[in-house]
Structures are given as structure tokens and as C-alpha cells.
Copies of this chain bind each other. A is one copy, B any other.
Amino acid sequence: MVQYRQTHLDASFGALGDSTRRGVLEQLGRGDASISALAERFQMTLTGMKKHVGVLEQAGFVTTEKVGRVRTCKLGLRGLKEEAAWIERYRQLWAARFDALDVVAQELKQKEIAHGRKKRK
């Protein structure tokens, strides 16, 4: 049903589900950085960092460009637009769900009143 391009959200939420990668995004927010700078900053090997950057790149959150020996990483143009949209949609869904519960709660309250119950709040 809503299965068509879920893979994309899989990739992006998956990419965000790692604190090192969120840290890298934060770092890149402060300025572009090379793989080795990021590796040093997060205390891991170049190879390890390169994998993380690869994941972020795959998800569309960063882009990289190699000039000479150095591969520079920067925030991608895509940003977090779709993820924000997804989350917002679900926040509304949540709200709607609990609005419904509020109605139920109100009904219960009415019943309580009808039954003469003065339950304190």
C-alpha cells in the first residue's frame, strides 16, 4: 500500500539512527570537512569514517568531492525535508488519535457526572 518508496525513508532514518553520523552532520553544519578531519574528530580510522560518510551520502544528506588527495564532505542540498514531512504527518496522526481519546475521556467524565461521581482531579 504505502510500500512504494519506503526504502528511501529506510535509508534516511537508518542513517540518522547512529550518533556518530548525527555528529558528523552537526560538524558539517559548522563547515565542510575532509574525511581525515572527521575521522580524527570522532576518533576512528579513515576507513571507518569513510563508511559513515558513505551512508550519509547514500541517504542524500551529504555530498562529497575529491580534489587532489582530499575528499571534502559538505551538507547535501536535500536536507531533511522529507523526513520532517513524514514526522509531521505522524505527529498529526498522533494528535488526532489522542483527540479522539479526549472525546472518550469527556464522555467518561459526563457519565461520572451523570452518576453523581465527583471524582477529584
Chain A interface, number of residues (Cβ within 8 angstroms): 37
Looking at A23, A77, A83, A86, the one whose CB has the most chain B CB atoms below 10 A away is A83
Distance (Å) between the CB of A90 and the closest chain B CB?
6
Contact residue among B17, B75, B93 (Cβ-Cβ distance under 8 Å from A94): B75
Chain B residues with Cβ under 8 A from A93's Cβ? 25-26, 29
Contact between A23 and B2 (Cβ–Cβ < 8 Å)? yes
Contact residue among B7, B14, B75, B88 (Cβ-Cβ distance under 8 Å from A97): B75
- Is A39 located at the chain interface by the 8 A CB criterion? no
Chain B residues with Cβ under 8 A from A10's Cβ? 17-19
Shortest Cβ-Cβ A-B pairs, 3 listed? A14-B17, A6-B19, A13-B17
